Amino acid sequence: MTNKKKIEECIRDGLESYFTDLNGVEPAAMYEMILKVVERPLLDVVMKHADQNQSRAAEWLGINRNTLRRKLVEHKLIK
């Protein structure tokens, strides 16, 4: 099994649990919520593995370094 498939399965399982926990209540604004929930640990783990090197992490993520820095501040991962 590829890593992509494993990550996708974890997300799918989490979403299924989310709907179960809603117990019939309809969700709202899920898209933004999911992006925020996924983005913070993604940035945190990538920065850790990049030894806090923002240029390297931005390259790995395929985003601009300034965008990465803004997101790190937004998620309070740096000051």
pLDDT at 76: 96
pLDDT at 69: 98
> How far does Cα 62 stand from its chain's mean position?
14
The pTM assigned to this predicted structure is 0.81
Three-class SS state of 39: helix
Q: Provide the sign of the torsion angle of the four alpha carbons 65, 71, 75, 78, taken in this order.
A: positive
Q: Which CATH class name applies to 3-74? A: mainly alpha
10-residue mean pLDDT series, the chain (79 residues): 85 95 95 93 98 98 98 95
pLDDT at 4: 76
Question: Which amino acid belongs to residue 22?
Answer: L
pLDDT at 1: 67
